[in-house]
A and B are shown apart, each in its own frame.
Chain A
Amino acid sequence: MTTPRLSTDGLTVRFRLRGAVVHAVTDLSLTVQPGELLAVVGESGCGKSVLAHTLLGLLPRNATVSGRAVLDGNTELLTGRVSGVRGRRVGLVPQSPATALNPVRTGRRLLEETLRAHGRPRSDADGIAAAVGFDPADLDRYPHELSGGMAQRLCTALALAPDPSLLIADEPTTGLDRPLVDHTLDLLRRRCDTGNTVILITHDLTAAQRVADRVAVMYASRIVEEQPADALFAAPAHPYTAGLLDALPDRAFRAVPGHPPMLTALPAGCAFAPRCTRATDACATMPDLSGTARCHHPLVEQEVAA
């Protein structure tokens, strides 16, 4: 059996605020293998981006983290020194690219700086830019002269420059037109086919369906369902997953009613129960993630078909 690229065990992140505690990530256990593309999906505010920041050690001071996250079986991401790990072994395509670029430096200078810091020649800059669909001629522009989609591609290029074995892409397709979305996704897919690993954080289920090997669905700081992509899209087990799939334009095109709970005031039982049509008294206790879904009343395949 191969060493997993990343394995987390009971990963929990809390933010202390004045008079409240934000439950950002709760008891998250994941394993991603080399060459695998894992999609983490869920509505805004379910803890996806906090997961990315936790793995890169970018959390603010008011955060407390417990649990473990081990990279390649030999590097503790939460307790060890991560300075040599960032960029080269774990890369991040940040969310909101417009603010992730230093406004007083051109794309070329940012890209060349990253390349040089990781021992690659500056001349690679044009090639990397072209690979993500960013015209190398635009590298000499300042960030404010780029469109949202261009900034997004530049951020992807910056994350790819050190060629990280684990790339965490936080909404890497925001602001892109469909052809460019597909281009970026296929680029990530090809990285996995050469033995690298990608964690794709997205709320775009269509994107996940296109390229993911496995999909983990997050709701209110927990993983509520984790399955191989084919199985999940064919037969979701958790009612929330089924609801998300129903919201797709080529399916029922019907959003899940209601809103996700506040992360400062999560119920003791299943957090989805208030929005769930299948909820019963049993849902007042927290279900385990047994099998594929964290649910007392998972859907079985016939129901999905119906």
Chain B
Amino acid sequence: MLDALPRRRVLRLRPGQTGTLVAASVLAVAILACLLAPALWPLDQSAVALDQTRLPPSWAHPAGTDDLGRDVSLRALYGLRVSLLVGAVAALVATVIGGIVGGIAGTLGGPVDRLLMRVVDTVAALPHLLLGIFIVAMLRPSLGAVIASIGVTHWLSTARIVRSELLSLRNRPFIDAAISGGAGRRRILTRHLLPHVLPRLALATTLMIPHAVWHETALSFLGLGLPPHLASLGNMINDGQGSLLTGAWWASIAPGAVIVVVTLAIAALAVRWREYLDPRVRAELQL
């Protein structure tokens, strides 16, 4: 009897799960398309077709063509490749920097903590985008420069999360209990502190991806991201601006829709994951 019940539950969605399923499917399709794009739909990024400019959406060009006659749907897909890569790597860079700074501040405490947190405050006082623009301008626009400029400006919240989590954990009675059971520094760190910090860190990284994608888009939109011939969602929205005035609204719609849908899907999954990471909530979900 016990075998029969859970099997039925696997197939039946619980309330609130439909959204998760949709988000997961969207993201899976997007990632799969990104991975397979070069093999299935090869694209010469510098090729133009001046006899096909500003064609409205049709079967041949599902999202129309732009000022230079390039297929918008295909370029949006290639743009998504760049944006997701930039977003994921930049979020990882930010998490590593933030994790190290917050980890040192939270475990050592005292004057080190105060010094590091003043550094965080100082960086936070500068506008992110301005700092990012400054870094890209120093490094010349390229994929690496965009990743660096996002990573270096977005580790602050991660550092704060890790630090405050560690500081509050240090005073929890179960840490004292572990110490009195003979646990040394390393065991406290790996067995008792990290299991609390890591899920939060992973979640912060996940939530940072959509943010980083937007940031890349903003930099490219300002003409400071990737070289103009390379498709990125920001570049395309920027180009589409001009087309909008000439009535070719579709040049901006496809990249804009892609960025909204993909970032929403990632954010929705991250929220769902956060619920799952808490054993308390997980127990309720399994009821």
Q: For the complex, is A38 an interface residue (Cβ under 8 Å from B)?
A: no
Instruction: State which residues 138-193 of B face A: CB under 8 Å.
Output: 172-174, 176-184, 187, 191-192
Q: Which chain B positions have C-beta within 8 A of A105?
A: 191-192, 195
Best-buried of B176, B180, B283 by chain A (most CB within 10 Å): B180
Task: Indicate the size class of the contact surface on chain B.
Answer: 20 to 34
Q: For the complex, is A300 an interface residue (Cβ under 8 Å from B)?
A: no
Instruction: Give a binary string over B255-287; 1 marks a CB under 8 Å from any A CB, 0 the rest.
Output: 000000000000000000000000110010000
Tell me the minimal C-beta distance from B66 to chain A in angstroms: 51
Instruction: Give a binary string over A139-170; 1 marks a CB under 8 Å from any B CB, 0 the rest.
Output: 00010110000000001001101100000000
Docked CA distance A87–B181 (Å): 4
CB contact between A100 and one of B177, B187, B195, B196 (< 8 Å): that residue: B177
Q: Which chain A positions have C-beta within 8 A of B280?
A: 103, 142, 144
Secondary structure dominating the interface of A: loop
Docked CA distance A94–B181 (Å): 10
Tell me whether A117 and B279 are in contact (CB under 8 A).
no
Docked CA distance A58–B172 (Å): 12
Interface size on A, residues (CB 8 A): 32
Q: Which chain A positions have C-beta within 8 A of B181?
A: 86-87, 91-92, 114, 117, 158-159, 161-162
Docked CA distance A53–B178 (Å): 13
CB contact between A87 and one of B176, B180, B192 (< 8 Å): that residue: B180
Q: For the complex, is A280 an interface residue (Cβ under 8 Å from B)?
A: no
Q: For the complex, is A268 an interface residue (Cβ under 8 Å from B)?
A: no
Docked CA distance A118–B178 (Å): 13
Q: Which chain A positions have C-beta within 8 A of B182?
A: 83-84, 86-88, 114, 117-118, 162
Docked CA distance A108–B26 (Å): 39
Tell me the minimal C-beta distance from B287 to chain A in angstroms: 12
Q: Which chain A positions have C-beta within 8 A of B279?
A: 103-104, 142, 144
Q: Which chain B positions have C-beta within 8 A of A72?
A: none
Q: For the complex, is A101 an interface residue (Cβ under 8 Å from B)?
A: yes
Docked CA distance A58–B181 (Å): 12
Tell me whether B283 and A100 are in contact (CB under 8 A).
no
Tell me whether A86 and B180 are in contact (CB under 8 A).
yes
Docked CA distance A117–B188 (Å): 12
Q: For the complex, is A99 an interface residue (Cβ under 8 Å from B)?
A: yes
Instruction: Give a binary string over A104-123; 1 marks a CB under 8 Å from any B CB, 0 the rest.
Output: 11000000011001100000
Best-buried of B172, B176, B182 by chain A (most CB within 10 Å): B182
Tell me whether A101 and B177 are in contact (CB under 8 A).
yes
Docked CA distance A142–B177 (Å): 16
Docked CA distance A155–B178 (Å): 10
Q: For the complex, is A56 an interface residue (Cβ under 8 Å from B)?
A: yes
Tell me the minimal C-beta distance from B102 to chain A in angstroms: 19
Tell me the minimal C-beta distance from A84 to chain B in angstroms: 8
CB contact between B180 and one of A58, A96, A145 (< 8 Å): that residue: A58
Tell me the minimal C-beta distance from B182 to chain A in angstroms: 2
| CB-CB nearest in chain B for A89 | B182
Q: For the complex, is A102 an interface residue (Cβ under 8 Å from B)?
A: yes
Tell me whether A117 and B183 are in contact (CB under 8 A).
yes
Tell me whether A96 and B173 are in contact (CB under 8 A).
yes
Docked CA distance A155–B195 (Å): 20
Q: Which chain B positions have C-beta within 8 A of A113?
A: 183, 187, 191
Docked CA distance A90–B181 (Å): 9
Tell me whether B180 and A94 are in contact (CB under 8 A).
yes
| CB-CB nearest in chain A for B184 | A83
Docked CA distance A88–B176 (Å): 15
Tell me the minimal C-beta distance from B50 to chain A in angstroms: 61
Tell me the minimal C-beta distance from A189 to chain B in angstroms: 22
Q: Which chain A positions have C-beta within 8 A of B173?
A: 94, 96, 99-100
Contact surface of B with A, Cβ cutoff 8 Å: 172-174, 176-184, 187, 191-192, 195-196, 279-280, 283
Chosen A-B contacts, 21 in total, with CB atoms closer than 8 Å, are A53-B176, A58-B179, A83-B184, A86-B179, A86-B181, A86-B182, A87-B180, A87-B181, A90-B180, A92-B177, A92-B181, A94-B176, A99-B172, A100-B173, A100-B174, A100-B177, A102-B178, A105-B191, A117-B181, A144-B280, A155-B177
